[in-house]
Amino acid sequence: MSELDAVLFANEAFYRAFADRDMDAMAEAWAENTAVSCIHPGWGLLEGRDEVLQSWQAILTNPGAPVIQCLAARVHLRDEMAYVICYEEIEGNYLIATNIFVHEGRRWRLIHHQAGATAEDPPKDEDADGEGGLIN
């Protein structure tokens, strides 16, 4: 698996944890040895692993939490940091997100997530997944 694929895999694992409402997997997706932060749509800045994971605990245990799917992910990688830009489909509506990762141990883990509203649909081209590349 290339490093680009490894970052996309980590991004997918984050959204799978979200979709499966799997708090253990969500906790695994986030870095443990690096400062983390999170901006949910419309929220302010959450900082620190405890505050970030508490927000996910509240979201994942909310019976009204929506089904989510990641679309058109694009990854950019530079040395030990990477970021993914992707759309999030939630019950026919779309959000757009920036997810930043670091290499922690042998895998990529999330250090920052911002999702917000978008008036646009994601590109239809499914080949978009995996686009992006190494940052020169």
Q: Which of 33, 105, 126, 127: binder of a second copy (CB under 8 A)?
A: 33
- Measured from the CB atom, the residue of 24 and 126 that comes closer to a second copy is 126
Q: Is 44 helix (H, G, I), strand (E, B) or coil?
A: coil
Interface with a second copy (CB under 8 A), residue total 39
Laid out side by side, the sheet with 68-78 consists of 93-104, 81-90, 68-78, 131-134
Please state the φ and ψ torsions of residue 15, each to the nearest 5 degrees: -75, -30
Q: 3-class secondary structure for 83-95? A: EEEEEEEECCEEE
Residues 105-134 that bind a second copy (CB under 8 A): 111-112, 114-122, 132-133
The separation between the first and the last C-alpha atoms of the chain, rounded to the nearest angstrom, is 20
State the CB neighbour count (10 A cutoff) for residue 93.
11
Instruction: Name which of 20 and 35 has its Cβ closer to a second copy.
Output: 35
76 binds a second copy (CB under 8 A): yes
Residue 102 interacts with a second copy (CB under 8 A): yes or no: yes
Interacting residue with a second copy among 37, 89, 90, 107 (CB under 8 A): 37
Contacting positions for a second copy (CB under 8 A): 33-35, 37, 39, 41-45, 47, 74, 76, 78-81, 83, 85, 87, 96, 98, 100, 102, 111-112, 114-122, 132-133, 135-136
